[in-house]
Amino acid sequence: MRRRLTRTKRETQLLEIGAKLAENIGLQDVNHRKIAVAASVCTATIFSYFASVDVLREQLAREIEESPGRYPMANLEVTLMIARGLLKTSP
């Protein structure tokens, strides 16, 4: 029987999936639906963790910044977006 993930572990899993998507398609093209498809969950599940696409992308940017070696192309995109004022990340 499959074990249900804790909320924290599920959120981490969704952020990792989103970061991998950002690595492949770019952060600006990542949204709730694309993560839901990649994670095999319904879109409402993603919204329960990330209320808006802005919140989703900010948290993805933080995940990418914290693991630059894991997502090198996405990290470059995030760095450029922050430098251009297109993305804000809070500590």
pLDDT digits (tens, 9 = 90+) for 15-47: 999 999 998 998 889 999 999 999 999 999 999
Q: Where are the domains of the chain?
A: 7-83
Q: What is the pLDDT of residues 49-62, one digit of tens each?
A: 999 999 999 999 88
Residue type at 28?
A: Q
Give CA–CA dist 29/38, Å, rounded.
Answer: 14
Place of tokens 């977006």: 81
Q: Which CATH architecture has domain 7-83?
A: Orthogonal Bundle (1.10)
Give CA–CA dist 62/43, Å, rounded.
Answer: 21
